Amino acid sequence: MILNIMIREIQHNLLSLRLQIAFILSIVIFSLGSIAFIKSHADNVAEYKRYHNDFIENMREDAEENLTQMAINSRQLIMAPRGSNFIDDAKERYTPNRFYFSAYNIFGYDVNPGSTNPFLNAFQELNWIFIVSVIISFTVLLFTFDTVSGEKEHKTLAISLANSLSRGNLLFGKYLSVILTTLLILLPGLCLSLIIILLSGSVAIHFNLILEIAGFLLAAIILTACIAAFGLLASVLTYSARTSLLYALCFWLLFISFMPNTAVFWASTIFPIEKGESVEERIRREQEDINNNAPPGSWSSSGGNPFLPQHELRANNQTNLMNARVSITKAYYNTRFQQFERVKLLTFLSPVSLYSYLNESIVGGGYPRFQKVWNDLHGYQAQLLQFFKEKDANDPDSPHWYNPYEDYSTTRKPAKFEEVPIFEEKPLSFPERFKYAGLYLLVLVLYTAGIFILAFVRFLKYDVR
């Protein structure tokens, strides 16, 4: 019986104006988004290649001239443009995407100001996730808001239920039909977009990408199911389709605009963190203490004589200064991470936000990607330092007093650049992605089930007369 209802509903939907408009809109935005992606991705890749070549050349010059310079020079690592940006850019242009490190330390991270034009408003790229979270979710609500209340107004609901048909089956049939109809809108646009992008050659198809697309589709279906459940809820809450539409639009506005866009306010009021300036002040005070308590001669130096005994004191002092900075900033960064993760939990109320978190985990971008690079970079820094220390140990002209900032008391010999470890960003493995995605997936599914059950219970008591 469910099948009959579904077929009837889908046939009805297929002929509806809303499907036609949504279909055209989806095709147009998928195409425009893909074209813009191809252009911007090509530019970003070219720009990144130039930057990366400079980065490597810089390091090569240092290594082939003086290993200590290679170790102490602070370097900037910028995250490479991600091929799966056309699925979800995860707002990587606005979030931390640049890291500062040397062989001794990871100094910090920030947002590369070059990744945005300050005169333009923050925007969402017209990628697949935008289409699903804005256009598709809106369409789903327009498909569902009058499912029950509209039928009641036309008196067809009473007739339908006069047959030997359970209310559960009727509602579930309608529900599934909306999800399937939405897929009919989504899939052609998605295929078109994929064809445009693959034909342009800007992104190569590979197994990971196929998995990411499959994951995206799964997430899109779950979001569709969730929004459809909200649409049904709006429909069964009232006896008039107009009022249902109002409720549905209210849900949509809250999910799309209000909840995610007030997160920054909640973050700063409910989970405040220390100001960056005050952290810098603490570092300054601690470093001042270290300098005041340093043994005499800790600032003496002689560029010509590495073995000057004061160089050891100087190296120790600089190491202490660095360690003071590292321990304070590390703790501060952890509070940043915690604040962000907590405020994300608050936005779990919006299925659209949950969906975007789920997607960024699936494509391995955004915050999970940042965390991966951040952790891997720490591993790499340890490896680079180890390499430097090994080379330094073999140099009889070095006193081996490790100074993290200055070239006084460690090896000044060159090294073959081929031997120097180079950082390469590894994409998140699928188990790693699932570690992040699992929670969002679970919450979104439970959320969907909860809202559907609510709609179902309300429908059981619905007066169809």
Partner 1 sequence: MIQHIALKEFYNNLVSVRFTVGFILCLFLIPFILFVSIYDYKSQVQAYEVDKQRAEERDQVRVYSAYRPDIVKKPEPLGIFCKGINFNVGNRVRIWFGVKPLLASGDSSARENPHLNAFLTIDFVSILAILMSLLAILFTYDACSGERETGTFKLLLSNSIERYKILLGKILGVILTLLPVLLICYVLSILIMVLFGIASFSWHDFLRIGLLFGLSVVFFLLFIALGIFISSRTQSSVTSVIVCLFIWATVVFVVPNLSVYFAQSFVKVRSQENLESSLSELNREFYKKYEEISNELENPDIWFMHFNHNGGADGYRELAGTADKTYEYYRQLNIHTVPLGIENADKKWAIQKAYFDELEQQRHTAEWLALLSPSEVFRLAASALCRTDVDSHLRFLDRTRQYREELIQFFQDEKIFDSFQYFTRVPPEKFRSADEIIEITTNGKLKSRDEYQTWAQNRSDIFSIFAAQLPEPERRNDYYETLDLSNVPKFQYKPNRILDDLKHSLSKIAAMFILSVLLFYLAFISFIRYDVR
- Smallest distance, partner 1 to C-beta of residue 294, A: 20
**Counting contacts by CB under 8 A, is residue 126 touching partner 1?**
yes
Given a contact cutoff of 8 angstroms between Cβ atoms, the answer to whether 256 and 137 are in contact is yes
Return the range that interacts with partner 1 (CB under 8 A); candidates 110-118, 299-307, 390-398, 417-425. Answer: 110-118
Amino acid at 167: R
Return the range that interacts with partner 1 (CB under 8 A); candidates 226-234, 262-270, 377-385, 417-425. Answer: 262-270
Q: Which of 59, 170, 245, 283 is close enough to bind partner 1 by CB under 8 A?
A: 245
- Smallest distance, partner 1 to C-beta of residue 69, A: 18
Tell the burial category of 161 from Cβ atoms under 10 Å away from its Cβ (0-12, 13-18, 19+): middle
- Smallest distance, partner 1 to C-beta of residue 91, A: 5
| Residues within window 355-414 making contact with partner 1, judged by CB under 8 A | 366-367, 370
Q: Which of 80, 180, 263, 328 is close enough to bind partner 1 by CB under 8 A?
A: 263
**Counting contacts by CB under 8 A, is residue 113 touching partner 1?**
yes
Task: Tell me the C-alpha distance between 232 and 143, whole Å.
Answer: 9
Q: Which of 4, 156, 261, 305 is close enough to bind partner 1 by CB under 8 A?
A: 261
Given a contact cutoff of 8 angstroms between Cβ atoms, the answer to whether 449 and 175 are in contact is no
Cβ nearer to partner 1, comparing 299 with 337 = 337
- Smallest distance, partner 1 to C-beta of residue 31, A: 12
**Nearest residue to 244 (alpha-carbon basis) of 138, 145, 137:** 145
Task: Tell me the C-alpha distance between 193 and 135, whole Å.
Answer: 15
Cβ nearer to partner 1, comparing 7 with 21 = 21
* Sheet strands side by side (includes 106-110): 75-78, 98-101, 106-110
- Smallest distance, partner 1 to C-beta of residue 227, A: 14
Task: Tell me the C-alpha distance between 223 and 26, whole Å.
Answer: 16
- Smallest distance, partner 1 to C-beta of residue 275, A: 6
Phi first, then psi: give them for residue 428, nearest 5 degrees: -65, 135
Which residues pair with residue 167 across a beta bridge?
none
- Token representation of residue 44: 């970003």
Q: Which of 68, 84, 85, 95 is close enough to bind partner 1 by CB under 8 A?
A: 95
Given a contact cutoff of 8 angstroms between Cβ atoms, the answer to whether 91 and 372 are in contact is no
- Token representation of residue 390: 């090994």
Site string for partner 1, 133-162 (x = CB under 8 A): -xx--x---x---x---x------------
- Smallest distance, partner 1 to C-beta of residue 328, A: 15
Cβ nearer to partner 1, comparing 109 with 459 = 109
Site string for partner 1, 38-77 (x = CB under 8 A): -xx--x---x--xx--x-----------------------
Return the range that interacts with partner 1 (CB under 8 A); candidates 19-27, 308-316, 376-384, 399-407. Answer: 19-27
- Smallest distance, partner 1 to C-beta of residue 385, A: 26
**Counting contacts by CB under 8 A, is residue 343 touching partner 1?**
yes
Q: Which of 30, 86, 128, 130 is close enough to bind partner 1 by CB under 8 A?
A: 130
Cβ neighbours for 361, distance < 8 A, ≥ 6 positions apart: 368, 433, 434, 436, 437, 440
Amino acid at 71: A
String of DSSP letters for 219-231: HHHHHHHHHHHHH
- Smallest distance, partner 1 to C-beta of residue 374, A: 11
String of DSSP letters for 11-49: HHHHTSHHHHHHHHHHHHHHHHHHHHHHHHHHHHHHHHH
Cβ nearer to partner 1, comparing 69 with 116 = 116
- Smallest distance, partner 1 to C-beta of residue 1, A: 27
Phi first, then psi: give them for residue 339, nearest 5 degrees: -60, -45
Question: Where in 139-241 does DSSP place strands (E)?
Answer: none
Q: Which of 53, 74, 166, 257 is close enough to bind partner 1 by CB under 8 A?
A: 257
**Counting contacts by CB under 8 A, is residue 187 touching partner 1?**
no
Q: DSSP secondary-structure letter at 461?
A: T
Tell the burial category of 228 from Cβ atoms under 10 Å away from its Cβ (0-12, 13-18, 19+): buried
**Counting contacts by CB under 8 A, is residue 307 touching partner 1?**
no
Q: DSSP secondary-structure letter at 108?
A: E
Return the range that interacts with partner 1 (CB under 8 A); candidates 199-207, 238-246, 281-289, 315-323. Answer: 238-246
Question: Where in 103-186 does DSSP place strands (E)?
Answer: 106-110
Cβ nearer to partner 1, comparing 9 with 392 = 9
3-state helix, strand, coil in the chain (%, to 5): 70, 5, 25
Cα 8 → chain centroid? 40
- Smallest distance, partner 1 to C-beta of residue 432, A: 19
| Residues within window 422-451 making contact with partner 1, judged by CB under 8 A | none
| Residues within window 309-328 making contact with partner 1, judged by CB under 8 A | none
